[in-house]
Amino acid sequence: MNGVTLPETYNGLGARNLVYMLLQLLRFFREFQGTPTAAGVHLIFIEEPEAHLHPQMQEVFIRQLEYIANAFVAQLNADRPWPVQFVVTTHSPHMANEARFESLRYFLSVTDGPGLRRSVVKDLRQGMGGAPEEDRNFLHQYLTLSRCDLFFADKAVLIEGTAERLLLPAMIRKTDAAAQGEPQLSSQYLTVMEVGGAYAHRFFGLLAFLELRTLIITDIDSVAPGAKNKRVAVRVAEGTFTSNACIKSWYEPDVSPAQLLDKSTEEKTDGGRRLAYQIPEQDGGPCARSFEDAFILANPELFDLGEGDQATLAYEHAAEQKKSSFALEHAIVNTEWRTPRYIGEGLRWLAQGNPAPTLGPDAIAAELVAEVIDAADGAQVDG
């Protein structure tokens, strides 16, 4: 490449494309230097630089933009300022998650009359400006570490842990299959974030600002006073409080499990967000404390619990299971089971209100194939 050789280990990362973009930036800088009357602001638009760049290179590029500008100023311009402003458009979560909220502009597609849509530009500097610094730092670190596509999804699911994450795709398929003729969640652009009950509430401000329809699946986590004023885990029927930070933030810190079981769907819904925690599989029946025992109570025929209080037996049986092994077994091996009621109801709520009705992937593929075949037939006729 113009006499510049790159190590063989750079192959496949898009290093050549990165070098090309750097040379383009250098050219723009030189043009700015050569302009007799310098502009007050030098705007450089970079459209979807992630094309042909490995995710590692995408992160490097967006992180190094400011460094590159400063290097040009220091080494090529005798420290005279270069008033450059980069405007980067991207569909890459690797790039979006590397940037601080202060530099992000989010384009939200909204309905604008029958059959029409328009974009609303949202400034995250303003939207997150009122959030505590601790929350902003947490969210930035989470998005950077998790590589989630929160900024590009139509809907989101916040879950507790490994078991829910592994089984969620199957639960979506099962609830979709049971709701034929209704909106199908599997054909919508969904992002799943594993945040735990202790951190889900930190996302509320960002989710509201993005206007992202979101289901928060969490655990009721019933506790009661124990020795030395420490709260201990107990079955739901014996609980006096919840230790779940998300639930306490949604309602009030001293909300009891009994009160939680009495909450209506409306009380579990706040604008575009809905809370889903364990409820009895049948009205008046036993209630689970966490996902694993809720799964067991939803499928008692699959587990030999014996006689006695089913909620206690399910909780004890779940405590003996390794979460990942339990989830993998039912995701891959034993796949004939029912989705726990609280998750099923939540997923059906999430499937509703799709902001941008679209064809499913299979329908899109069929449409594209038909277009290609028509084009090929037309070429033969012309020939």
Residues 73 and 66: their CA atoms lie apart, in Å, by: 11
Could you give the C-alpha distances from 84 to 42, 125, 142, 348, in angstroms and in order? Answer: 5, 19, 29, 48
Q: Which of 69, 125, 118, 59 is nearest to 92 (CA)?
A: 59
Q: Which of 314, 300, 301, 303 is nearest to 237 (CA)?
A: 314
DSSP at 188: S
Q: Are strands 222-225 and 190-194 parallel, antiparallel or unpaired?
A: unpaired
Residues 351 and 102: their CA atoms lie apart, in Å, by: 32
- Residue 362's pLDDT is 64
Residues 313 and 45: their CA atoms lie apart, in Å, by: 61
- Residue 42's pLDDT is 93
Residues 217 and 66: their CA atoms lie apart, in Å, by: 39
Angle, CA 291 vertex, CA 97 and CA 271 arms, to 5°? 55
pLDDT digits (tens, 9 = 90+) for 280-309: 999 989 999 999 999 999 999 999 888 888
- Residue 113's pLDDT is 80
Q: Which of 119, 109, 106 is nearest to 357 (CA)?
A: 109
Q: Which helix (H) or strand (E) holds 190?
A: strand 190-194
Low-confidence residues of the chain, pLDDT below 70?
A: 1-12, 147, 354-368, 372-373, 375-383
- Residue 43's pLDDT is 94
- Reported pTM: 0.82
Three-state secondary-structure class, residue 22: helix
Domain ranges of the chain: 8-99, 148-351
Sheet of 269-270, strands arranged across:
190-194, 155-159, 213-217, 273-276, 269-270
- Residue 296's pLDDT is 95
- Residue 18's pLDDT is 84
Contacting residues for 251 by C-beta, under 8 A, at least 6 apart: 259, 260, 263
Q: Which of 295, 376, 372, 377 is nearest to 338 (CA)?
A: 295
pLDDT digits (tens, 9 = 90+) for 181-204: 999 999 898 999 999 888 999 999
- Residue 157's pLDDT is 96
Residues 17 and 253: their CA atoms lie apart, in Å, by: 53
Beta bridge partners of 155: 190, 213
